[in-house]
């Protein structure tokens, strides 16, 4: 790729150095918006990044107009002055950087300009989503987190279900655990842009000892939670990726995919979306709806290619099974892939849930069970599909499970093979 010319008018120390480290760019830095306008009209730039805020909005708009006239892409930083006009900027299709540290901004600029794939610039993000409630999103998040941790991958789980957290009760997160919503409220009260830097975020992480999994919790136990604006959410995710210490970041999302489109944003920014898919009519309509949104949501980007389906077995007695549903979904959404099949395990889950005084994973209730084996298999598929190399091998099933030969092993991603009897 040839060298790109980038013009920056920024107050951030070290931004030019960070940019040059990350990508093949030639940076011209100017000290004011007037200089930026003069440069844009006199030289050819591929893009400009601006975070100066000591000027009237009129000066910002004047640079934007000059840039548009000369075919220069405009990217903005979220400084307090720019925050006041961020909605107008959004409406004008201008991208605003959700972070404020030099490394984060440089990573964001290179990703926006397509200079490097954002996937290689931080921990992979995997959102667990569905357009319907109660389909097993939180259970799948917990199984993926447990399975990845057992493969030696450090996992951060971000609770994105702000109205009805499933993560808090499932993992027995104490009521006094820090909440990222508190930080957002404090920032707004101080008149600061509600953005997160990796160092601030580190203080909000709750490390859960029994599981070894780290959490960022958003729900505070009250029904009336403050919602996050899109830019705040993006800032949170960017800061989490910027921590650099996690092999995977999992986001448990709520059912309101339109109100909080966290899964769409994850897929758009190079992440993945795991979709639990029970076979019932209402549930499969929900799955199809989500995949449609992914397919059509962003013009020219079929985000269904970033969707990984997990087939959920129905309750005993159901007349429809994953074998009916998988081929239909495969046909309608050829770009998505199937990474596993989770058996129904009511007793196992209930035993873990009701375990008296501590958190227990359903896969520890019976490590030789079909659910435990299906979890390890799903994690293996996930890693193969997204290019993650876990440090530890797949746990072997205990001898009694092999002897029972009850594990279900779906075949390669994208195809479904009936359960072995
Ligand atoms: N494979 C399974 N075997 C047994 N029970 C299951 C299975 N999958 C999900 N459940 C149960 O179904 C209920 C809903 O699951 P879960 O909370 O994971 O769904 P969700 O999609 O996160 O729901 P919400 O939209 O409310 O967040 C839970 O009680 C869970 O234990
Ligand atoms: Mg849930």
Residue 223 confidence (pLDDT): 46
- For ligand 1, mutation pick of 127, 132, 136 (most atoms within 8 Å of CB): 136
Q: Which tokens hold the place of 384?
A: 């193969």
* Cα–Cα distance for residue pair 18/3, rounded to 1 Å: 16
Q: Which ligand is nearest to the CA of 352?
A: 1
| Residue in this structure with the two tokens 């404090």, named with its chain if needed | 186
Residue 104 confidence (pLDDT): 82
Q: Which tokens hold the place of 227?
A: 């919602």
Q: Which tokens hold the place of 248?
A: 């995977």
Name the residue with the closest Cα to ligand 1, atom 29. 134
> Would the pLDDT of 309 be above 90?
yes
Name all domains of the chain by residue range, CATH numbers in brackets: 4-116 (3.40.50.2300), 120-404 (3.40.50.300)
> Would the pLDDT of 25 be above 60?
yes
pTM above 0.85, yes or no: no
- Residues facing 273 on adjacent strands: 127, 307
Residues with CB under 5 A from ligand 2 (ion): 137-138, 166
Weakest-pLDDT range from 54-58, 190-194, 225-229, 362-366: 190-194
Rounded to the nearest angstrom, the distance between the alpha carbon of 276 and the centre of ligand 1 is 10
> Would the pLDDT of 409 be above 60?
no
Residue 124 confidence (pLDDT): 92
* Cα–Cα distance for residue pair 202/205, rounded to 1 Å: 5
User: What pLDDT, in 10s, does the model give residues 217-233?
Assistant: 987 655 455 677 777 88
Query: For strand 307-312 and strand 272-277, is the pairing parallel, antiparallel, or unpaired?
Result: parallel
Q: Which ligand is nearest to the CA of 137?
A: 1
Q: Which ligand is nearest to the CA of 350?
A: 1
Closest by Cα among 276, 290, 282 to 318: 282
Residues of the chain with pLDDT > 90: what percent?
45
Decide: helix, strand or coil at residue 188: helix
State the DSSP code for 414. Answer: T
Atom of ligand 1 nearest to the CA of 348: 4
Pair 67, 36: CB distance under 8 Å: no
User: Per mean pLDDT, which of 15-29, 161-175, 397-411 is the most reliable?
Assistant: 161-175
């Amino acid at each position: 790729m040839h060298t790109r010319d980038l013009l920056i008018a920024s107050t951030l120390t070290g931004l030019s150095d960070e940019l040059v480290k990350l990508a093949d760019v030639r940076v011209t830095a100017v000290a004011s918006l007037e200089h930026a306008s003069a440069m844009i009209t006199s030289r050819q730039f591929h893009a400009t990044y601006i975070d100066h805020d000591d000027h009237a909005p009129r000066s910002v708009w004047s640079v934007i107009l000059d840039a548009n006239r000369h075919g220069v892409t405009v990217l903005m930083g979220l400084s307090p002055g720019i925050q006041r006009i961020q909605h107008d900027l959004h409406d004008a299709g201008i991208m605003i950087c959700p972070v404020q540290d030099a490394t984060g901004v440089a990573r964001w600029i290179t990703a926006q300009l397509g200079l490097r794939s954002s996937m290689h610039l931080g921990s992979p993000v995997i959102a667990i989503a569905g357009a319907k409630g109660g389909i097993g999103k939180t259970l799948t998040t917990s199984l993926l987190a447990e399975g990845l941790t057992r493969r030696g991958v450090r996992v951060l789980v971000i609770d994105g279900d702000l109205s009805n957290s499933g993560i808090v009760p499932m993992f027995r997160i104490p009521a006094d655990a820090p909440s990222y919503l508190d930080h957002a409220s404090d920032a707004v009260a101080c008149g600061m842009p509600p953005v997160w830097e990796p160092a601030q975020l580190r203080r909000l992480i709750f490390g859960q000892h029994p599981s070894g999994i780290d959490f960022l919790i958003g729900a505070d136990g009250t029904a009336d939670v403050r919602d996050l604006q899109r830019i705040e959410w993006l800032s949170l995710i960017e800061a989490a990726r910027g921590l650099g210490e996690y092999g995977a970041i999992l986001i448990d999302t709520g059912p309101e995919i339109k109100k909080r489109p966290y899964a769409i944003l994850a897929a758009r920014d190079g992440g993945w979306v795991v979709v639990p898919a029970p076979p019932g009519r209402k549930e499969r309509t929900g799955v199809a709806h989500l995949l449609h949104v992914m397919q059509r949501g962003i013009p020219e980007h079929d985000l269904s290619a970033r969707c990984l389906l997990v087939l959920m077995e129905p309750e005993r007695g159901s007349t429809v099974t994953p074998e009916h549903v998988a081929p239909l979904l495969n046909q309608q959404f050829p770009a998505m892939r199937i990474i596993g099949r989770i058996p129904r395990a009511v007793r196992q889950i209930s035993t873990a849930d009701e375990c008296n005084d501590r958190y227990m994973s359903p896969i520890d209730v019976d490590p030789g069970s079909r659910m435990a084996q299906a979890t390890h298999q799903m994690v293996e598929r996930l890693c193969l599909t997204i290019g993650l190399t876990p440090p530890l091998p797949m746990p072997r099933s205990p001898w009694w499970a092999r002897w029972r030969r009850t594990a279900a092993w779906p075949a390669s991603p994208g195809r479904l093979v009936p359960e072995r009897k």
